[in-house]
Amino acid sequence: MTQEYYSNGKLLLSGEYAILDGAEGWAIPTKFGQNLKVTGNSSGILTWTSIDADGTTWFQCEYDVYNLAIVSTTDEEISNKLITILKEAQNLAPNFLKDSNGFMVETTLTFPRNWGLGTSSTLINNIAQWSKTNPYMLLKKSFGGSGYDIACAQHDSPILFKIENKQPVISRIEPELSYSEQLYFVYLNQKKNSRDAIAAYRKQPIDKKGLTTKITDLTKQLYQSKTLLEFEAALDLHETILSYALKIPTIKEELFPDYSGSIKSLGGWGGDFVMVTARENTLTYFNQKGYNTILSYSEMAL
């Protein structure tokens, strides 16, 4: 018997870093995500194969299905991370992996894994579906993080996300965004490790309460903006406030100081995608600087 699961990727349009301390953030599920297919067998082995968007296999491992000991692997570090997730799933659901004497598992991304759209979060949500466990608990006990990415994995429209009393609070929103055709996502040609970015944020001597209040207010301004100019003003202020808090320059100051539109980092600053507001020369501008992966809002957002 084969079981199949799917989870959406994610982008956090506002609230990065501060969302960890209770700020409300605006997040969008993406049209890209990850599939997980499980087939039971009698081999005594859990065979795991991970496939990238271009069809290439980027990870393979075999485990003893009874104790999850590694039999063979192409990457021991990834194998150990996967063991952590599977064992935490077993802690939450003791009968997990007990309904068969072996499994063949295949995961397939629909986006290049270096894009940073949620390779880990889509995996955790898929494993949570497979094991019938709480994905937020599974995230907390494995990788950690706010959980907005898990919310995106499960929703098919934009959401507001915040942590309240240590629990996720999620609201669906339908922002008008009459200017959505002027919004683009540009890949910065490098992936940012979100755990490292979070650790660096935690070390900053920041007034967390003041920061969360400001970012929550800006989140509201962003999704309620009626014009592109209002939207850009809120984007620029969001970048300025976080730049001051993180003690690092904005990505526009660092890489694109002569760009005439607004540029906002998404997720860990310095990598993955940025959101830009379009001008007549937007595509040419970024292409000439070597940034060739550019998606429109309608191409990215679910």
**Domain stop point among 144, 172, 200:** 172
- Do residue 135 and residue 191 come from a single domain? no
CB atoms closer than 10 angstroms to residue 101: 13
| Sign of the alpha-carbon torsion through 26, 151, 291, 197 | positive
What is the pLDDT, as a whole number, of residue 271? 74
Nearest to 81 by CA among 30, 22, 36, 138: 138
Confidence (pLDDT) at 196: 74
Domain boundary pick from 131, 151, 172:
172
Residue 283 sits in a domain whose CATH number is: 3.30.70.890
Q: What is the pLDDT of residue 171?
A: 97
Co-location of 245 and 293 in the same domain: yes
Same domain, 40 and 112: yes
State residue 142's pLDDT score: 93
Identify whether residues 41 and 149 lie together within a single domain: yes
Single residue among 137, 172, 207 that ends a domain in this structure = 172
pLDDT confidence of residue 198? 75
Find, among 7, 6, 16, the residue nearest to 238 by Cα: 16
> Quick one: 212 and 80 in the same domain?
no
Contacts of 113 (CB under 8 A, 6+ apart): 52, 53, 58, 119
**Amino acid 197: pLDDT:** 72
- Cβ-contact 21, 208 below 8 angstroms: yes
* pLDDT recorded at residue 93: 98
Task: Give pLDDT, residue 199.
Answer: 75
- Is residue 213 domain-shared with residue 137, that is, in the same domain? no
> Within this chain, do residues 143 and 184 fall inside the same structural domain, yes or no?
no
- Asked if 148 and 34 touch (Cβ cutoff 8 Å), the reply is no
List the alpha helices (DSSP H) in the chain: 76-92, 119-131, 135-142, 148-154, 194-202, 208-224, 228-246, 251-255, 282-288, 297-300
Cα–Cα distances in Å, from 61 out to 39, 47, 73, 95? Answer: 15, 6, 4, 22
Residue 292, SS3 per DSSP: coil
The predicted pLDDT at position 263 comes to: 98
Q: What pLDDT is recorded for position 124?
A: 98
Q: Are residues 184 and 234 in the same domain?
A: yes
The C-alpha R_g of the chain, in whole angstroms, comes to 20
- 34/167 same-domain check: yes
pTM: 0.94
84 and 216: one domain? no
Residues 168, 225, single domain; the answer is no
Q: Mean pLDDT for each 10-residue chunk of the chain (302 residues)?
A: 96 94 96 98 98 98 97 98 97 96 98 95 98 97 93 97 96 95 95 73 83 97 97 98 92 96 89 92 96 97 94
pLDDT of residue 39: 98
Q: Are residues 15 and 107 in the same domain?
A: yes
Beta-carbon contacts of 26 under 8 Å, excluding residues fewer than 6 positions away, are: 12, 13, 14, 15, 158, 159, 160, 173, 175, 219, 222, 223
Count how many domains the chain has: 2
Range of the domain at 216: 180-300
What CATH number is associated with residue 137? 3.30.230.10
